[in-house]
Chain A
Amino acid sequence: EVQLVESGGGLVQPGGSLRLSCAASGFSFRTHWMHWVRQVPGKGLEWVSCINTDEDSTSYADSVKGRFTISRDNAKSTLYLQMNSLRAEDTAVYYCTRGLIAAVGIADYWGQGTLVTVSS
């Protein structure tokens, strides 16, 4: 069974940092692109970032570029999102998603999400 379990969310002050993790199991992690998607409670979805299988290509939404860094450890089947210079507008549930294989798309499986709250 495919499982994606996010952790690392919590309350942080504006300007602070957090590191999210996503532990993957039940599939060959190293063969899938991975993504982070966020959702303000009660609002819509926003794509945040993605990383390729070889860890040498990343992409970011303009809203987080220069502040967030995505990475992965294929040996540990874990995806990360380092979030720096956090702002109130970064408050959201952050989902880890598995990219499609043999097709193009950002998510055929989603984790349950971890809530990040940026507030003083």
Chain B
Amino acid sequence: QSALTQPASVTGSPGQSITIPCTGTSSDVGGYNFVSWYRQHPGKVPKLMLFEVSRRPSGVSNRLSGSKSGNTASLTISGLQAEDEADYYCTSYTSANTWLFGGGTKLTVL
């Protein structure tokens, strides 16, 4: 079970949009619409931002959106704000009835 692939870091400026990809295989990301995204600020517990690829929990900003194409899911954050600076993790259900996380992406807002 290899981790899903995410870029180690992404950088954006306030007001811009960024996209974080999460690449897996047909046995996980590509096979199911069960991808979630989590945000983790330093020293804090992760927070659910998207589930089932593109659904937002109550209270999560509509500046965040999700999509999937083939074996790659993506998180897009528009109108970047300082509060968006954090680590982001994707996770997917797998055909082995397990879950995989991505390695995490550090988003820096310059």
Contact = CB atoms under 8 A, between A and B. Distances in A.
B58 to A, nearest CB: 10
Chain A interface SS verdict (over half): loop
Given A44-B3, A59-B97, A61-B98, A106 B91 contact: yes
Given A44-B89, A103-B52, A110-B45, A62 B101 contact: no
Contacts of A104: 32, 34, 51-52, 93
A108 B48 contact: yes
A91 B98 CA distance: 21
B45 A106 contact: no
Contacts, number: 63
Interface in A16-75: 35, 37, 44-47, 50, 59-63
20 contacts: A37-B101, A45-B91, A45-B101, A46-B101, A47-B99, A59-B97, A59-B98, A60-B98, A61-B1, A62-B98, A95-B45, A103-B55, A104-B51, A104-B93, A106-B91, A107-B38, A108-B48, A108-B57, A110-B45, A113-B45
